[in-house]
Amino acid sequence: MPRHFETSLDVVRELKPSYPVYCLRPDILRESAQRFVEMFPGRVLYAVKCNPHPEIMRYLHEGGVRHFDTASTEEIALVRRQFPGMDAYFMHPVKSRDAIRSAHRVFGVRHFVIDTESELEKIRTETDGDPEIVIHVRLATPPAGATYNLSAKFGARPMTASELLKKVDAYGYETGLCFHVGSQCTTPNGYRIAIELIRQVVDFAGVPLRYLDVGGGFPGQYINQRAPDLEVFMEEIKDCIRWLDYPDVTYMCEPGRALVASGVSLITQVHLRKEDQLFINDGIYGSLSEAVTGNLRYPVRAMRVKGDFKNEEDTLDFTIYGPTCDNMDVLPATVTLPADIEEGDWIEFGHIGAYSNALATHFNGFYPELLVTVSEAFPFIDGEFPQVG
Ligand SMILES: *Cc1c(COP(=O)(O)O)cnc(C)c1O
């Protein structure tokens, strides 16, 4: 069990950490899961890749998540170790034969994704023709408001998807269709466009559909990427489901980011100030790579243990460098902080739960791994950065 603190400031006061510290909010993680499970009219699969830390998975499970979207043998094993009775779904369209075999034989996985006929044949061979499996055909969707496109590498075009669906049905497997609108999708319309395409695929294939999986992509809230509330996305999806009017279909979704983003913050320390440049102990090779890949700007606040910052109004825009020796280890946008911030002060990044520790490398010997829990939510006020100290 990680150590528990009331607030992030307590963490700083007590540990005075010179290393990065992840602060998990169990209540927020449980509530996010609970809200999602209550609102979505079907199965909610947590996309394990987003944050596979066992503590994170534990709180999501406590909040009601009972299914897991996995993409590798290791992720499937991780789910099974922690939740022996839970279902893992193998939602990667390209799998090694060994991975298919062990998923099916060792872990009893029943749901597999394809976007080509070769993958369908692979699965058929490696599962020894077991008729009790479900094959989901992944459809590529047009880009619509997402920060990351997840349809360039994977996904069949509508006509191919229809043909694949027919083959899946002809083999006697239960049929599914799935898509991913792209990660950090800030407009509900992305799901509508995808579902309209789904209908064409189903009509064209003319075979019964058993599962429809609307994927992940539900957004987190960042300083420069504000999105409508989750409810707005759910209303749009429910509206599309009414329009589809497929009574025999089980609906699924695979949220990652939306379940975990706001439930974690990261405390970093300033190790050197050079005028308007700050050198801190985590960076783009650690927890902050999405600042580059997704141009995400996290809400931040400064913390000081001895004394206070002089004047809350007096701020400066700082360039923030990470700890490695690489030139690229710098945040692409400046961060507004108290003008008198100095060596030894701390900077807390909020809403860092998604694709942070999951993507952190050991480059140059820096690896953020300490984790504590805190009760207080990260205060996220538009454009502001409350300081504590
Ligand atoms: C990454 C991924 C997800 C999760 O996406 P989020 O944008 O984090 O919700 C879900 N499904 C698949 C197939 C993925 O690759």
294 Cβ below 6 A of ligand 1 = no
* pLDDT at residue 381 in the model: 59
Pairing of β 315-321 and β 335-338: antiparallel
Q: How far is the CA of 310 from the centre of ligand 1 (A)?
A: 43
Q: Which of 32, 50, 178 to mutate to test the pocket of ligand 1 (most atoms within 8 A of CB)?
A: 50
- Other C-beta atoms within 10 Å of 90: how many? 26
The residue whose C-alpha atom lies closest to atom 13 belonging to ligand 1 is: 91
Distance between CA atoms of residues 141 and 197, nearest Å: 8
353 Cβ below 6 A of ligand 1 = no
269 Cβ below 6 A of ligand 1 = no
257 Cβ below 6 A of ligand 1 = yes
215 Cβ below 6 A of ligand 1 = yes
* pLDDT at residue 268 in the model: 98
Distance between CA atoms of residues 238 and 16, nearest Å: 48
User: How many residues are there in the chain?
Assistant: 389
The residue whose C-alpha atom lies closest to atom 3 belonging to ligand 1 is: 216
Least Cα distance to 357 among 292, 285, 278, 296 occurs for 285
* pLDDT at residue 313 in the model: 86
- Cα 18 to Cα 275, 364, 385: the distances in Å are 21, 16, 22
* pLDDT at residue 389 in the model: 47
- Cα 358 to Cα 115, 255, 329, 353: the distances in Å are 26, 15, 18, 9
Determine contact, residues 146/217, Cβ cutoff 8 Å.
yes
- pLDDT averaged per 10 residues in sequence order, the chain, 389 residues: 96 98 98 98 98 98 98 97 94 98 97 98 97 97 89 94 98 98 95 97 98 98 94 98 97 98 98 98 98 96 93 92 98 96 98 98 96 92 52
Amino acid at residue number 382? D
Tell me the Cα Rg of the chain: 22
Q: Which of 95, 141, 150 to mutate to test the pocket of ligand 1 (most atoms within 8 A of CB)?
A: 150
The residue whose C-alpha atom lies closest to atom 5 belonging to ligand 1 is: 216
Least Cα distance to 58 among 35, 38, 86 occurs for 86
Distance between CA atoms of residues 104 and 291, nearest Å: 37
Distance between CA atoms of residues 23 and 75, nearest Å: 23
* pTM exceeding 0.85: yes
* pLDDT at residue 360 in the model: 98
Among the atoms of ligand 1, which is closest to the Cα of residue 146? 7
User: Across the chain, which distance is largest between two alpha carbons, in Å?
Assistant: 72
* pLDDT at residue 193 in the model: 96
Q: Report, as residue numbers or ranges, the catalytic residues.
A: 325
Q: How far is the CA of 216 from the centre of ligand 1 (A)?
A: 5
Map residue 112 onto helix, strand or coil.
strand
Q: How far is the CA of 151 from the centre of ligand 1 (A)?
A: 11
113 Cβ below 6 A of ligand 1 = no
136 Cβ below 6 A of ligand 1 = no
Q: How far is the CA of 283 from the centre of ligand 1 (A)?
A: 23
- Other C-beta atoms within 10 Å of 205: how many? 23
Among the atoms of ligand 1, which is closest to the Cα of residue 258? 9
Strand partners, 319: 277
48 Cβ below 6 A of ligand 1 = no
Among the atoms of ligand 1, which is closest to the Cα of residue 150? 15
